[in-house]
Amino acid sequence: MTTSSLHEDRTTALGWLAHGGELATGLRGENAKHSDVIWQLLVEAIEVIDKTPDQERRWLTSGQRSGGWNMIGMSRAELIEIEKIRLLSAMKPFDGNTKYAPQRNDIDRALGVLSWMRFCVSARIPERLTKAAVALARGGDSETVHKIYRPTNPRTRDRQVAYDIKTRTVGFIMSGLKKRLGIAPGDGITFQEVHP
């Protein structure tokens, strides 16, 4: 990795973490912690990828980008004109099926945040932890998450399993961010660049 690339990656990650701080504050208010910032970014990333239309998801999984976000389409002025025409034609505003159209920044952030899951490779059974973390972030029921994470230990409480998954996942990600990008928790729920 070159120095400029590392600097760009660090700046991008700090921007994503600032967005995660907004998400965590919106959810937990004054009680938000650094771990909430990272977990909310994971939850949002899973949600964005799950809501991505099938065609775009297929391109993402094949490793190619469609180039369809923010590149092709109408300008704001054209959209306003179309909405005026709809109103003059006695059509209700927003009449019809709604469609989720992800923005380029949302997709880039989601893929970048999900790439942080590679830091979980230090776990004893990394595949199990990452699968359970994704299922938990997706809002999966506790029984499914429990079966993924602890298939041989049915006696552990569901809350304890969810807490373990979140804590371990966030811990590995925070450690990886510090080692690879030089990013560590700062004041409040902010993250900052650290120099070794």
pLDDT of residue 181: 92
CB 28 within 8 A of CB 36: yes
Residue type, 16: W
Question: What's the whole-model pTM score?
Answer: 0.72
And the tokens for 97? 């099926």
72 lies in some domain: no
Tell me the percentage of the chain whose pLDDT exceeds 70: 76
Bridge-based pairing state of the strands 191-193 and 183-185: antiparallel
> Residue 192 in 3-state DSSP?
strand
Q: What is the mean pLDDT of residues 101-110?
A: 80
Q: What is the mean pLDDT of residues 167-179?
A: 94
71 lies in some domain: no
CB 194 within 8 A of CB 183: yes
Identify the bridge partners of residue 192 per DSSP, sorted by sequence position: 184
Element (H, E) at 183: strand 183-185
pLDDT at 196 over 60: no
pLDDT at 131 over 80: yes
For residue 124, what pLDDT band results from cuts at 50, 70 and 90?
Answer: confident
166 lies in some domain: yes
Structural domain harbouring 124: 3-52+102-193
35 lies in some domain: yes
DSSP states along 83-134? HHHHHHTTPPTT-S-------HHHHHHHHHHHHGGGGGGGSSSHHHHHHHHH
Q: How many CB atoms lie within 10 A of CB 83?
A: 13
The total number of structural domains that make up the chain: 1
58 lies in some domain: no
And the tokens for 27? 């959810």
92 lies in some domain: no
63 lies in some domain: no
Tens of pLDDT, residue by residue over 54-100, are 655 555 555 444 444 444 566 777 777 777 776 776 655 555 555 55
pLDDT at 145 over 80: yes
22 lies in some domain: yes
